[in-house]
Structure 1
Amino acid sequence: MTRQTTFLLVLVLGFGIGIGLWLSPKPIQQAGIQNQNGERKPLYFRHPMNPKVTSPTPAKDEMGMDYVPVYAEDQSPASPVNKGRILYYRHPMGAADTSTVPKKDEMGMDYLPVYESEVSNQRQVSISPEKIQKLGVKTETAGLRKLANTIRALGSIQVDERRVHVVTAKFEGWVQRLYVNVTGQTVRRGQPLLEIYSPELITAQQEYLIAREGEQLLSASSSQAKATAKQLSQNALQRLRFWDIAPAQLQYLQNEGGALDTLPLLSPVDGVVLEKPVVEGMRFMPGEMLFRIADLGQVWLVVDIYEQDLDWIKSGQTVSVRINAYPNRAFNGHISFIYPTMASETRTAKVRIELPNTLGLLKPGIYGSVAITSGDGQAERLTVSDSAALDSGTRQIVLVRLDEGHFEPRVVKLGRKTDGYVEVLEGVANGESVVTSANFLIDAESNLKGALDALESPTTQGNKSSGEALREGKPPQHQHGGQ
């Protein structure tokens, strides 16, 4: 019974093996064979996430992804010369991990090489010549240009705040007589403005006269008594000086030996009376403003400059000013100050321009315009047309034409803009051809986002984009090195 059982088992096993060999496909024998139409026939199909799992026929994995066909030339040890050099090795399962040297993952699968040609092709955007013609694509060569810009702004003439003087009294009194009695009147330095009466001033004069008389009486006394009397006399005189009594009035007081009932108050500067709250007969208190006088020999033109133009201006620049009241005259000045604050409503900053006004033509409140010419002199900067830059909000992109129908998006760093051109600090080389029109349409018609994703990885290597790192033959920074 044992013999018969063993024999039957061997017979069944042999029969099963024979049936299996007869039914099994022979992909290796079909390798490299083409059908009558010249189409390649796959050897087999492999799992898209695990190359060790294969199928003789098309299939789908558990996630619904199609198995990948494997052809005879994929199995042959083809030379990667035509693909360029190997930039790095990527994880076989699609993880973000990369390596600069060959290695295996945790499942023992080899990392896959990434060639220079593969990365370069992923960064490109391809459009047919017919579509390029329909879109109206135009290009222009990036080149070196001298950057110059003329900024025009409007403003108004204002009083130089450093030349404004307020006339006050340091004692209580009354206006006995008013010599300058209209606003806008021109005054000269030392000109009497008003006559004042003050009991405090009369008392101070009398104290000085008494102290000086005591100094004279004690001239024959001891040295200590003479020194004390002299100090009292000097203190009384100094008090009058602190009250801004003019030297001529003090000299009169010393020579005549009698106190003055009234004293004139003099103008401290040449200028124009801006304010005159004082009237004849009024009482004034210490520190109360009697006149406000401004020297208009130099004035300010305060203009509003937009924030995008602030980089073009600096203190000390000479400017040309035109005043609406004098259209045939030009006034030259210089920028003296750029205000540190910005108006949030208009996105402008105020700039102060100093103008000489010896003829008195520039009156506060007059409107004027300024032309500020700025540039780098003889320096040339790499520029492209400002229409070549696409601004996504987070980065600026320029489409570089590689050849007919092939474009490469470049993330660029832009500088100053002027006269239809923008300075390129990084991303484009001198002499490269960039798209200047229909670049938005190329964005809509092509997989520009995918090309940009290939150009830049989620992480950067140092301060470089991963696109720059790939062009230098370096993997993105998320690599872990060889193990």
Structure 2
Amino acid sequence: MFGGAGRVWHGRDVVAALVTPAAAQTSDEPIYYQDPDGKPVYSLTPKATADGRAFRPVPASADLNFADAEPAPEPAAPVATDGARKIKFYRNPMGLADTSPVPKKDSMGMNYIPVYEGEDHDDGSVTLSPQKIQRSGVQSEPAAMRVLVTKVRAPGSIQLDERRVSVIAMRSESFIQSVADVTTGSRVSKGEPLMQVYSPTVASAAAEYVSTIQSKVTGGVPFYGRGSRQRLVNLDVPEAAIAAMENGGPVPTVLQWTAPRDGIVLERNAIEGMRAQPGDVLFRVADISVVWALIDVAERDLGALAIGQSVRVHARGFPGRDFTGKVAVIYPQFNRDTRTARIRVALANPDFALLPDMYVDAEIDTGDPQPVLTVPESAVLDSGDRKVVLVELGAGRYAPRDVKTGHRGGGYVELREGVTDGEAVVTAATFLIDAESNLNAALKGFTDTGTTP
């Protein structure tokens, strides 16, 4: 750099030139001049840059002091205040367990955050300013008594009512003479003809019964015919055919078999001219005006189930339509592969909309009609082995409280311990307050075992 009379100043010359007598250092007159852009270019006399801008005068009060000074005393405990509150210490802005008795910056240049008296409580509570509460979106709601509407949702399928299925099978060797115009899937009514059958055994028993009836009319033993009639009943001869014999009809050689109930033909094995052995299933008819819904309920929901609970079933083939029923049976078997248990619900099916093996979704009402103490589900912080809510203590203070939860439903959870009716709990920004509370607890533990500010 250049000085007066064209002298050049470098290094130690600058330092020597800047050290002036004490009288000059106490004056407000400039002791040298510096480049207006702050560059390390100085002059002992007024000077201008190449573009005509004047150098900045530097008085002695703004100059660096190169004289040896006494060591600075250790900083005392902070007494700085913010309004009426006193600052106790400063904590690390990144949440580390590091405090300072005086203002400082961390390695990234961030200011340490002041902690005021009353903000570090032994109960783990945290105090937030109204501005911080507003910025964080903190919301509270009092714990109240409510009736929880708890619904268990589970999949299932439609099955036949076992009590409404009939099988037509011959009890003696028979021959199918003819079959009615009935096929699998046809709807039949009780008493409707299905087939005509010839059976030597049945024909022999029918002839014996007819002769017994005739002998009774001509003065025979009155009770002799009971055994012959019972034999026809044991051979499953239709009651209509037996009644025709008793009314004076001829000995039938071919008998007509009819439908035993109203329903749908699920199976038709009878073929005209075939030979049927005893036990062969010729027809299977089922009444599907009432069907069963077999629902597979998850293991975690078993404790809430009970006989008689209301169930709504939604068939995937009929969106928007509900089929209602009640829990009739809780099966005593458990499926270890799917971790489910099965329940049975009887459903009215007057228009035959529900068909066997159809998939359905069920909603089971398992709520208790008695009101219980509840809070919104968002108020509970669940770490797996501990459940906590943040209770509002007033004046911006919030304290964590251990609770025991019960049933859930409708967006609410039952609290069995930890909170009383009417206490306000935080329902929004709970994680922010919990983080602040945990940070305060960590800092307190640090200061208790380390250096106390």
TM-score class, shorter: 0.5 to 0.7
In the aligned structure 1, how far is the partner of 2:436 from the partner of 2:269?
A: 71
Instruction: Point out where structure 2 has 5 or more consecutive residues left out of the alignment.
Output: 1-75, 78-120, 446-453
Query: Where in structure 2 are the equivalents of 1:22-61 lying within 5 Å?
Result: none
Question: Which residue does the alignment assign to 1:236?
Answer: 228
**Structure 1: which amino acid aligns with 2:173?**
E
In the aligned structure 1, how far is the partner of 2:315 from the partner of 2:330?
A: 22
Identical columns (%): 35
In the aligned structure 1, how far is the partner of 2:314 from the partner of 2:147?
A: 27
Q: Per-residue deviation at 1:430?
A: 1.3
**Structure 2: which amino acid aligns with 1:382?**
L
Question: Which residue does the alignment assign to 1:282?
Answer: 274
Quick one: structure 1 residues 210 and 425, their matched pair in 2 at CA, closer, same or farther if it must change by over 3 Å? same
Quick one: structure 1 residues 265 and 369, their matched pair in 2 at CA, closer, same or farther if it must change by over 3 Å? same
Question: Which residue does the alignment assign to 1:192?
Answer: 193
Query: Where in structure 2 are the equivalents of 1:113-124 lying within 5 Å?
Result: 124=123
Quick one: structure 1 residues 427 and 267, their matched pair in 2 at CA, closer, same or farther if it must change by over 3 Å? same
Quick one: structure 1 residues 136 and 444, their matched pair in 2 at CA, closer, same or farther if it must change by over 3 Å? farther
Question: Which residue does the alignment assign to 2:124?
Answer: 125
In the aligned structure 1, how far is the partner of 2:125 from the partner of 2:388?
A: 17
Q: Per-residue deviation at 1:181?
A: 4.6
Q: Per-residue deviation at 1:217?
A: 6.0
In the aligned structure 2, how far is the partner of 1:427 from the partner of 1:270?
A: 60
- Does residue 358 of structure 1 match 2:357? no
Secondary structure in structure 1 of the residue aligned to 2:183: coil
Q: Per-residue deviation at 1:194?
A: 1.5
Larger mean CA deviation between 243-252 and 421-430 belongs to: 243-252
Q: Per-residue deviation at 1:241?
A: 1.8
Quick one: structure 1 residues 140 and 318, their matched pair in 2 at CA, closer, same or farther if it must change by over 3 Å? closer
- Does residue 142 of structure 1 match 2:143? yes
Question: Which residue does the alignment assign to 2:414?
Answer: 423
Query: What is the count of residue pairs matched by the alignment?
Result: 318
Question: Which residue does the alignment assign to 1:433?
Answer: 424
Q: Per-residue deviation at 1:193?
A: 1.4
Question: Which residue does the alignment assign to 1:272?
Answer: 264
Q: Per-residue deviation at 1:355?
A: 3.0
Instruction: Point out where structure 1 has 5 or more consecutive residues left out of the alignment.
Output: 1-36, 39-120, 220-225, 452-483
Secondary structure in structure 2 of the residue aligned to 1:252: helix
Q: Which runs of at least 4 in structure 1 moved beyond 6 Å after TM superposition?
A: 132-138
In the aligned structure 1, how far is the partner of 2:172 from the partner of 2:128?
A: 91
Question: Which residue does the alignment assign to 1:252?
Answer: 244
Quick one: structure 1 residues 434 and 197, their matched pair in 2 at CA, closer, same or farther if it must change by over 3 Å? same
Asked if 2 retains the 8 angstrom alpha-carbon contact of 1:320 and 1:371, the reply is yes
In the aligned structure 1, how far is the partner of 2:374 from the partner of 2:309?
A: 25
TM-score by length of 2: 0.58
Q: Per-residue deviation at 1:290?
A: 1.7
Question: Which residue does the alignment assign to 2:55?
Answer: none
Secondary structure in structure 2 of the residue aligned to 1:148: coil
Secondary structure in structure 2 of the residue aligned to 1:430: coil
Asked if 2 retains the 8 angstrom alpha-carbon contact of 1:180 and 1:194, the reply is no
**Structure 2: which amino acid aligns with 1:194?**
M
TM-score by length of 1: 0.55
In the aligned structure 2, how far is the partner of 1:137 from the partner of 1:144?
A: 23
Quick one: structure 1 residues 399 and 165, their matched pair in 2 at CA, closer, same or farther if it must change by over 3 Å? same
In the aligned structure 1, how far is the partner of 2:128 from the partner of 2:434?
A: 17
Question: Which residue does the alignment assign to 1:206?
Answer: 207
Asked if 2 retains the 8 angstrom alpha-carbon contact of 1:191 and 1:267, the reply is yes
- Does residue 172 of structure 1 match 2:201? no
Query: Where in structure 2 are the equivalents of 1:365-444 lying within 5 Å?
Result: 365-372=357-364, 375=367, 379-391=370-382, 393=384, 396-402=387-393, 407-410=399-402, 412-436=403-427, 437-438=430-431, 441=435
Secondary structure in structure 2 of the residue aligned to 1:268: coil
Q: Per-residue deviation at 1:197?
A: 1.6
Asked if 1 retains the 8 angstrom alpha-carbon contact of 2:143 and 2:423, the reply is yes
Quick one: structure 1 residues 286 and 443, their matched pair in 2 at CA, closer, same or farther if it must change by over 3 Å? farther
Q: Per-residue deviation at 1:261?
A: 1.7
Instruction: Identify the structure with the greater helix proportion.
Output: 1
In the aligned structure 2, how far is the partner of 1:447 from the partner of 1:231?
A: 100
Larger mean CA deviation between 207-216 and 415-424 belongs to: 207-216
In the aligned structure 1, how far is the partner of 2:204 from the partner of 2:240?
A: 19
Q: Structure 1, residues 430-464: CA drift from partner, whole Å, max 9, x if none?
A: 1223355227646864669xx9xxxxxxxxxxxxx
In the aligned structure 1, how far is the partner of 2:136 from the partner of 2:258?
A: 79
